[in-house]
Amino acid sequence: MKYESQKVAYWFFAAAILLLSLQITYGFIMGFARMGYDGLHEFIPFNTARATHTNLLVVWILLGFMGAAYYIIPEEAQRELVAVKLAYAQLISFLLVGVVAIIGYHLNYWEGRKFLEIPRPLDWLVVVNVLTFLGIILTTLYKGKTRTTTAMVLAMGLLFAALLYLPGMIWFDNQTMDSFFRWWVVHLWVEGVWELIMGGILAFLLIKLTGVDREVIEKWLYVIVGLTFLSGVLGTGHHYYYIGVGKIWLIVGGIFSMLEPLAFLAMALFAVAMYRKGEKRHPNKLALYWTLGTAIMAFTGAGLLGMAHTLPQVNMYTHGTLVTAMHGHLAFWGAYGMIVFSFITFAMPNLTGRRLYDTVNGQLAFWLSNIGMIGMTMAFGVAGVAQVYLERKTGLEFGAVQQELEVHFFVLVLTATMFATGIILYIIEFFRYGSPQDEAIGMEEDLKTIY
């Protein structure tokens, strides 16, 4: 690392990984419940487990983004973070709000709005927290020596993500209105502004790992930002087909959401093209694996599997089934889980001064987690298609269908075990690096020319 304050990123990463472990635990609780082994039902019913699983997911990804921003912004702006102690306080308070929310879910203190279950009083604490975070990031950028495109895109993504949290806090008595604005948060995050955050982090990593000129990489970033806005905003319509709003959304949502994969395709082509163009390589091969892997898995999970159910004619049957869970897993993992893992893999040697590049454990973590997640996606997909046929084509009763599906969750739990093994190995590597060290400041390794 170049600046001492970048060390704060480490603690965000450690917290992110901890919460991921907890998320996985709740995933298994649901996996077993779905197989028919719902022994914990009295204490953790399925709805509680589901809300906890998905909220932990969002929180650990956000912690990953924040950690990455605290690492990237000083380096791009060429100065220390403006308020380091405040950054630590921001982490601790963010975790506290998360813990209270999760305990609340177990005591039925929640709002039954998928992904936005967190009760509104706690929302205000999130707002204060995120304002603090943005204050530190934007002031550092403002006071810095340089404002690069990469840093600006990342900061813009973070700022818009914060603003788009607000529509989810408006109170409506009307179900359709509530649903309409819920998607401004959920959809416009993952298929809009988070893509900017991902694009910014991806650009930073490619600059560091491939040795291609910043100008070339940042030109691509404009293309990605453009494609994201072109398709993502009106693409929200793919959630408006059957919630009680006008029919116009069938056409608008269908057309624009079919264009959304282009932004992910651009990212995949971008990463591979820069990898091939680069005449130098960073010795941290694993970071490069994760980075290229992210671009490809995001295109598959978000782009291709999103496209698979985005047309109204298809979505009419697949809406809210396990087909959605199939896409949800590979999209979230492939895009946002993996970009956070890419960044951590890149940052750890620089933060700690230990160069555990390319270890067997690290390699295994990469392959087991990703192959495991592809297997999970297939298990959800097969279960989803079976569910659509049994429930919506043949008209078998909902509960009876759920029982028919139990067998598929055996495969889910099996592949999830493979995924979880990869994550455990990753965590072991994380701990082997130890904590950030002052000696690591200014010790970063240079790229090597490929002969």
Residues that bind Fe ion (CB under 5 A): 187, 191
Query: How many C-beta neighbours within 10 Å does residue 118 have?
Result: 27
- Residues in CB range of 156: below 8 A, 6 or more apart: 196
Q: What angle do CA 241, 48, 404 make, to 5 degrees?
A: 65
Identify the residue whose tokens are 């930002």: 225
Structure tokens at 301: 């999970």
30 interacts with, out of Fe ion, ligand HEM, none, CB within 5 to 8 A per kind:
ligand HEM
Told to check if 249 binds ligand HEM by CB under 6 A, we report no
Structure-token pair, residue 113: 């709005």
Q: Report the candidate in 257, 241, 244 with the shortest Cα–Cα distance to residue 312.
A: 241
Binding mask 255-294 for ligand HEM (x = CB under 6 A): --x--xx---------------------------------
Tell me: does residue 54 bind ligand HEM (CB under 6 A): yes
392 binds ligand HEM (CB under 6 A): no
The distance in angstroms from the start CA to the end CA of the chain is 27
- CA-nearest of 257, 394, 375, 265 to 315 is 257
For ligand HEM, which is the closer residue by CB, 191 or 429? 191
Task: Annotate each residue in 420-439 with x if it binds ligand HEM (CB under 6 A) or - if it does not, as one string.
Answer: x-------------------
Site string for ligand HEM, 157-196 (x = CB under 6 A): -----------------------------x---xx-----
Q: Least distance from C-beta 175 to ligand HEM, angstroms?
A: 15
Q: Which listed residue (1, 97, 274, 331) binds ligand HEM by CB under 6 A?
A: 331
Contacts of 25 (CB under 8 A, 6+ apart): none
* Closest C-alpha among 134, 20, 122 to residue 66: 134
3-state secondary structure at position 6: helix
For ligand HEM, which residue of 92, 320, 397, 407 counts as binding (CB under 6 A)? Answer: 320
Is residue 69 close enough to count as binding ligand HEM by CB under 6 A?
no
H or E element, residue 449: strand 448-449
Q: Is 337 in the site for ligand HEM (CB under 6 A)?
A: yes
> Total residues contacting ligand HEM (rule CB under 6 A)?
43
Q: Work out what residue 27 binds among ligand HEM, Fe ion, none; the CB cut-off runs from 5 to 8 Å by kind.
A: ligand HEM
Under 8 Å between Cβ of 104 and 119: yes
**Between residue 111 and residue 140, which ones bind ligand HEM under the rule CB under 6 A?**
114-115
Smallest separation, CB 121 to Fe ion (Å): 28
332 belongs to the binding site for ligand HEM (CB under 6 A): yes
CA dist 11 and 89 (Å) reads 11
CB of 114 to ligand HEM, least distance (A): 4
- The Cβ of residue 42 has, within 10 Å, a number of other Cβ atoms equal to 7
Strands 448-449 and 280-281: antiparallel
- Tokens coding 201: 């982090």
Site of tokens 């970048």: 6
14 to 43, contacts with ligand HEM by CB under 6 A?
A: 24, 27-28, 30-31, 34
Per CB under 6 A, residues contacting ligand HEM are 24, 27-28, 30-31, 34, 50, 53-54, 57, 114-115, 186, 190-191, 238-239, 257, 260-261, 298, 302-303, 306-307, 309-310, 315, 319-320, 324-325, 327-329, 331-333, 335, 337, 416, 419-420
